[in-house]
Structure 1
């Protein structure tokens, strides 16, 4: 019984958003595999990949005043002071922007980087460029959200569609209250999430570092260095 429990704990739950896609992959695999056996194994591998794409593991979120937690699994691709997208209504002064790029093997469930009230949600159509490119923040299809923290700070979170991603899914509405680490959406299938913070915030990650949604500390609103010095070994 303990072995079965261990196996159950080792397999992360699947987000309901993925059930229909996994079912489609599985049905196509069975039909095609019935006629061409080698294609069954290819389809099986793709079905497993689809299930992993929509995994929704339990995360342990650090909770402390001023912490900003990563909204996405992935790699930090950019850290810079940038003027936020105009539709967010965050003004025209540069803010600290931290970008997390998600490839097709990362978990794609996005989580709130801070606690607060969802003050604004704005969808903007656009292109489907490689989400790793810096200009993807301006040109690509995106869905922006502004969270107002209990301290009155406005934090911008932007889900950006990528080269393969064609659908941004949101789970929350304006006026709702989020706890830090709450799930607020996902993007299918490979994309990026940008976080816009006050320019005085201090980054606690470096470009190239891998982050985990709901667990990795991205920044500290209390301030500090924009990017830490790191040693790769």
Structure 2
């Protein structure tokens, strides 16, 4: 019999090892206790899974940065960071990640990292839309064209207490690449310039690096696309 073990994000190694060692000790005491302690180990393996994705090879497509369900889509004003802070209009697509979703985050569109900033905050349950404004977050600004930016927010939740972002300012990024993870339930917001029409709706299930949120060109179709496995 052949078992295909899932790819595991490196952020999960320590948790899995700790729970596995505890499980081994528990099994040496009693079978029932061992089975009970084994459950968190399996849960960690499941939570930190990091599957490959078939990323559309089209530079004009804006893809979902996370797995989860869209909890809201709304027009907002957003002040970009910097000395000459400029307020622009965006469409905010907010994606809620339950503890059962893949929590690895992916780049929504190729470009350059213009700015990264961290904001302290609370740990309101990520299922609440309040978390977008009140919770701890990591803000990433990606410039995909001159003067054109997309913003991604990694937002902590009630259980999530660790936001990991592996990006650096001025770094070149490619659509679908992994860039971080949020541990144990969270929310990811993506802010798209308001003149770009989004192709998703509230309640829709998203797949990070695969689901098309919007397109820079009205002429783009999803037919005859090629894909990169990342």
Normalising by structure 1, report the TM-score.
0.86
Deviations 1:132-171 (A, max 9, x none): 2222111100000000114542110000000100000111
Is residue 200–residue 221 contact of structure 1 (8 Å, CA) maintained in 2? no
Cα drift, residue 41 of structure 1:
1.4
Q: How does 1:1-233 map to 2 (within 5 A)?
A: 4=2, 7-8=3-4, 11-84=5-78, 87=81, 91-150=86-145, 152-222=147-217
Structure having greater relative contact order (Cα 8 Å, sep ≥ 6): 2
- Cα 1:90–1:130 shift into 2, 3 Å: farther
Cα drift, residue 95 of structure 1:
0.9
Deviations 1:90-142 (A, max 9, x none): 73333100011111111111000010111110001100001122221111000
Aligned equivalents of 1:222, 1:45: Cα separation in 2? 47
- Corresponding residue number in structure 2 for 1:229: none
Q: Which runs of 5+ in 1 are unaligned?
A: 225-233
Aligned residue for 2:87, secondary structure, equals coil
Is residue 67–residue 220 contact of structure 1 (8 Å, CA) maintained in 2? yes
Is residue 69–residue 214 contact of structure 1 (8 Å, CA) maintained in 2? yes
Is residue 200–residue 223 contact of structure 1 (8 Å, CA) maintained in 2? no
Is residue 59–residue 109 contact of structure 2 (8 Å, CA) maintained in 1? no
Q: Note the aligned Cα RMSD (angstroms).
A: 2.0
Q: As a proportion of its length, which structure holds more helix?
A: 1
Aligned equivalents of 1:147, 1:170: Cα separation in 2? 13
Q: Which runs of 5+ in 2 are unaligned?
A: 220-230
Cα drift, residue 86 of structure 1:
5.7
Cα drift, residue 196 of structure 1:
0.5
Aligned equivalents of 1:162, 1:49: Cα separation in 2? 18
Q: As a proportion of its length, which structure holds more strand?
A: 2
Aligned equivalents of 1:116, 1:90: Cα separation in 2? 20
Number of positions where the alignment pairs a residue of Structure 1 with one of Structure 2: 218
Is residue 157–residue 187 contact of structure 2 (8 Å, CA) maintained in 1? yes
